[in-house]
Amino acid sequence: MSALEDSNTISLSPLVLTHPTVSERLRIWKATYPHWGDALTFDDYITREVKNLEFCQEGQGNFDNWILTDNSAADQRPLFSSCETFKKRAFICGKEGDLRDGTCCAVASVFTFPEYQGRGYAKKMMTLLGQEIRKFADFSVLWSDIGPRFYHSVGWKPFESTFIQLPATSHNAIFEDGLEAVKIEDLPHLIKRDEKILLKQLEVPSDRIRVLILPDLDAIRWHLFHEAFSCQRVLSRTPTIHGAIYTPPNHPHAQIWAIWTRKIYGQKCEDNTTHVLRLVIEDENISNDALKSGIRALCRMAQREANEWACGTVEIWNPGDRVRKAAEGIEGLGAKLVTRENHHLSSMQWLREGSIDEVDWICNEGFAWC
């Protein structure tokens, strides 16, 4: 996500934050195509944005487009900056161990029209947007593609952003003992199990505030929608394998699974990435050897699938220490830990009592990105 400018200079004309009309949305999409069209043709990009809007509107008001403009009439007013917001289901656990439902507002697609860049419009829009979000959300997140400073200056603090990177290979992982592919019909059950696992983890006492964006079916379906659209338009086929699940020998209740999607950014394999949206370890007390076997099986399957779908790499966002050590210790896997500095930097604005410095972001993985 890029604001494309961070100047403090701004027009003195009255500015308002509001929602675009249908024709104004089309103007935004035409302007953003060179930046976010990736491997899609212009017509396919516009079609994707229309279908994305239809898909998101099924979520009962969980998605909004925003524009920074002035008080001129709709369809005649200037479009200075624009963005999107997604309401996401969350849980919050306070310092006293009180667990409650919460709401997260994720911000995406921050854009300033080229003719207005360098005048502070993105900063003004984000400031006004923060005031709107505060009315209904407990916290807000975004992923910066312009480094940490700009969004931090308007209230979104950068959090740790690392990922394990694996090269795509042709491992014959599908035949490893205990490993099965995850198909579309498997997802609802796995996601329900995952929610129980995560809530149990939140019950562990802590002297810090902990927040969790839930990796629910709506979140996963959004990624699958984008994956299917891009793969069909660019590769003329759609995936049927959406992850893998590993069962350790003699330990059926200590499964490890991953859900992933492919992101087609360009025509070359090195441009494209298979993203692990969620990596689940059912039993935190699993032995190091069993964990290593599971990570090996899952990663090799992901590498093979990446190779099958013209992706050059696999990414696992913000892995835990045990997962990182296991992956780095597997000979021939090619795993390396990368620390983000400028792109996809996860950031949060805390909107309730307490300081952002007292907040831990639990399960900060790829599924939450938008």
The whole-number pLDDT of residue 3 equals 46
User: Are 211 and 150 part of one and the same domain?
Assistant: no
Judged against a pLDDT cut of 50, whether residue 320 lies above it is answered with: yes
Check whether residue 214 and residue 274 sit in a common domain: yes
Residues 78 and 103 in one domain: yes
Specify the range with the lowest mean pLDDT, choosing from 54-63, 135-144, 217-226, 264-273.
54-63
Domain residues for the domain of 201 are: 163-339
Whether 225 and 173 share a structural domain: yes
Q: 277 and 210, same structural domain?
A: yes
User: Does residue 364 lie within any of the structural domains?
Assistant: yes
- Asked if residue 192 and residue 243 are part of one domain, the reply reads yes
Across the range 298-321, mean pLDDT stands at 97
What is the layout of strands, in order, in the sheet containing 273-281? Answer: 179-181, 243-246, 256-263, 273-281, 313-317, 162-167, 336-339
What's the whole-number mean pLDDT along residues 7-20?
Answer: 76
pLDDT digits (tens, 9 = 90+) for 352-365: 999 999 999 999 99
**pLDDT at residue 172 tops 80:** no
CATH code (residue 248)? 3.40.630
Residue 6 lies in a domain: no
pLDDT band at 9 (very low <50, low <70, confident <90, very high): low
Task: Please check whether residues 287 and 196 belong to one and the same domain.
Answer: yes
- Kindly give the residue spans of alpha helices, DSSP state H, lying in 279-358: 288-308, 321-328
Based on the fold, state whether residues 96 and 190 are members of the same structural domain. no
DSSP 193-238: HHHHHHHHHHTS--SSEEEEE---HHHHHHHHHHHHHHHHHHHS--
In a domain, 1, yes or no: no
Burial code (b: 16+ CB inside 10 Å, e: under 16) for 207-239 equals: eebbbbbbbbebbbbbbbbbbebbbebbeeeeb
9 in a domain, yes or no? no
232-259 pLDDT, tens digit per residue, is: 999 999 999 999 999 999 899 999 999 9
Is residue 56 included in any domain, yes or no? Answer: yes
* 250 shares a domain with 115: no
In a domain, 316, yes or no: yes
pLDDT score, position 59: 65
pLDDT at 12: 52
Could you tell me if residue 298 is inside a domain?
yes
| Main-chain phi, psi angles of 180, to 5 degrees | -130, 150
pLDDT attached to residue 125? 98
Dihedral sign computed on CA atoms, order 193, 199, 203, 208: positive
Q: Average pLDDT in the 106-120 region?
A: 97
Going by pLDDT thresholds of 50, 70 and 90, the confidence category of residue 93 is very high
pLDDT for res 267: 82
Same domain, 75 and 177: no
Judge whether 3 lies within some domain: no
- Say how many domains are in the chain: 2
**Could you tell me if 256 and 149 lie in one domain?**
no
State which H helix or E strand residue 130 sits in. Answer: helix 121-133
What does the mean pLDDT of the chain come to?
94
Q: Please tell me whether residues 145 and 199 are part of one structural domain.
A: no
The pLDDT-based confidence of 57 (bands split at 50, 70, 90) is: confident
Residue 110 maps to which CATH number? 3.40.630.30
Q: Which of 219, 284, 275, 278 is nearest to 255 (CA)?
A: 284
